[in-house]
Amino acid sequence: MMPYETPLDLLHNLGEGICERIMRELMSQRTKLSVKSQLFVADSSRVETEMTTVILPSELSNVHKNRNGTDKLTKFRCVLSSVAIHSDVIGPKGRFTIIALAMTVNRMFTNANARGVFDIQMTAAANWFIQEASTEYLSS
């Protein structure tokens, strides 16, 4: 196994990579970030409001501080995925992508037993929507 290819490294890179990019694009109206596509464009204030309604256990109370890749990933997989499931503030393709990525990450965090096809289907679904929106997501 090469350096930076361990499960822990992959999880950290997700938190600092695509998951962080999605979070930033969802807040692009507030931060004036140039977006790579319309896939994750939403009303930033509504997304933020929806995120505050998600109740987390006390041991996860610091995830909103975004101190590191772990916090960013936990915020994505617990908070943003909950918003994607219960709210229509994000478009359907964006919601599906967020949920597919969050399910993949949750499986990596829990080390749950699942057929290999689960990972393939979830990552393929997220990849398809992301590539359809813009190949720039996969380049940087």
- Collapsing DSSP to helix, strand or coil, 38 comes out as coil
pLDDT at 32 (0 to 100): 80
User: Residues 40-59: pLDDT tens digits?
Assistant: 999 999 999 999 999 999 99
For 8, 13, 33, 87, 105, the CA distances from 5, given in Å and listed in that order, are 8, 10, 30, 34, 15
| Through-space distance between the first and last CA atoms of the chain, rounded to whole angstroms | 23
Segments making up each domain of the chain, as ranges: 7-138
**Predicted model pTM:** 0.82
The predicted model gives 94-102 an average pLDDT of 93
